[in-house]
Amino acid sequence: MDKYLHKKWFQNVFWSCILFLVVTHMQGQKFSPHSGLQKHFHVASSTSEIEMSISYNEKILFDPYMVTEWENSSWTIQGEDEFFISGQNFEDLRNYIFTIPGAYVVELQINPPNGNPPGNQCTHICFPPRIVLDVKKYKLTFLPESILFSDTILSGVETNGMFLTMDLLFESYDGSTMVFQEMFQTAGIQTSIVGVLPNPVTLTPGVNQIIYPLSGKVMSSNTYISFDFINPVNGLSWSYPLMNAIL
């Protein structure tokens, strides 16, 4: 029994340290409305095609290392209604903004400036030559500075009756509304806190307030937790870490 308790104690300390380091790092950074939602496109060269989604008025977020190595690589973008555009500079594709929602196919003609990597091994410059892109007509931005809690979360205390309030900036290409019903979960040591909306919320263009009833609790004291959300438009995750330990 002593060995088991020692093992559990070590695991708790280990994960507390990991989350503490993450929170400490985040404290030195200023959250932007897009925090945690940006996902760079970077996959192995063995993949010939990839599907991805972005919102209108956004760019494909390629790996930042893919800036100068592929300057001479050609590319094409084919969309609906006979839309077609091509270029000879990778930087132009990296900065291309998809202003109109719809389905697109992006094809890349890779011309490595120095030939293939030694042994034909993939390095950070590898990516598939074909992207099947779904440009959504909705855009959803989490506003972390708006997050408020109705009460302080304490270790060992149920959060039933507490609320998390946050704002979402919703943009719509055609001015239509969108139904939002995503829940959130928490990450950390011995946390079971979740937020589930009792009813779907209809988002209208502009800032929308979301009120989450909380349930669950944090069993460990002096530990850090984060609140993990999913953006239903593009499927990307966004995490909001509490900067103070749960006491």
Q: pLDDT of 39-97, one tens digit each?
A: 444 444 456 888 999 999 999 987 665 555 566 678 999 999 889 999 988 889 989 99
Q: What is the mean pLDDT of the chain?
A: 81
Average pLDDT over residues 181-204: 98
Give the pLDDT of residue 66. Answer: 53
Is 187 inside a domain boundary? Answer: yes
Structure tokens of 165? 């309030």
Residues 156 and 223 in one domain: yes
Q: pLDDT of 130-169, one tens digit each?
A: 999 999 999 999 999 999 999 999 999 999 999 999 999 9
Is 39 inside a domain boundary? Answer: no
Residue that the structure tokens 């079971």 belong to: 192
Residues 57 and 130 in one domain: yes
Q: Label the pairing between strands 130-136 and 237-241.
A: unpaired
Q: pLDDT of 9-31, one tens digit each?
A: 444 444 555 554 444 444 444 33
Number of H helices, E strands in the chain: 2, 14
Residues 125 and 143 in one domain: no
Beta-sheet strand order (sheet of 130-136): 49-55, 130-136, 102-109, 74-78, 84-87
Is 209 inside a domain boundary? Answer: yes
Q: How many CB atoms lie within 10 A of CB 83?
A: 11
What is the pLDDT confidence band of residue 120, given thresholds at 50, 70 and 90?
very low
- Which pTM was predicted? 0.75
Is 143 inside a domain boundary? Answer: yes
Give the pLDDT of residue 97. Answer: 98
Residues 194 and 181 in one domain: yes
Is 81 inside a domain boundary? Answer: yes
Residues 130 and 165 in one domain: no
Is 38 inside a domain boundary? Answer: no
Is 198 inside a domain boundary? Answer: yes
The domain of 118 spans: 49-136
Give the pLDDT of residue 84. Answer: 96
Q: How many CB atoms lie within 10 A of CB 170?
A: 20
| Boundary (domain end) residue, out of 113, 136, 159 | 136
85 has which bridge partners?
77
What are the CA-CA distances from residue 36 to residues 118, 172, 194, 235 (Å)? 35, 21, 19, 12
Residues 25 and 146 in one domain: yes
Give the pLDDT of residue 90. Answer: 83
| Boundary (domain end) residue, out of 121, 136, 151 | 136
Report whether 222 contacts 246 (CB < 8 A): yes
Residues 144 and 228 in one domain: yes
Give the pLDDT of residue 91. Answer: 85
Residues 169 and 197 in one domain: yes
- How many domains, in total, are found in the chain? 2
Residues 228 and 145 in one domain: yes
Q: Is the pLDDT of residue 203 over 80?
A: yes
Residues 114 and 192 in one domain: no
Is 19 inside a domain boundary? Answer: yes
Q: Is the pLDDT of residue 225 over 80?
A: yes
Separation CA 54–CA 182 (nearest Å): 18
Give the pLDDT of residue 32. Answer: 37
Give the pLDDT of residue 131. Answer: 93
| Boundary (domain end) residue, out of 86, 107, 136 | 136
Separation CA 140–CA 214 (nearest Å): 22
Residues 191 and 228 in one domain: yes
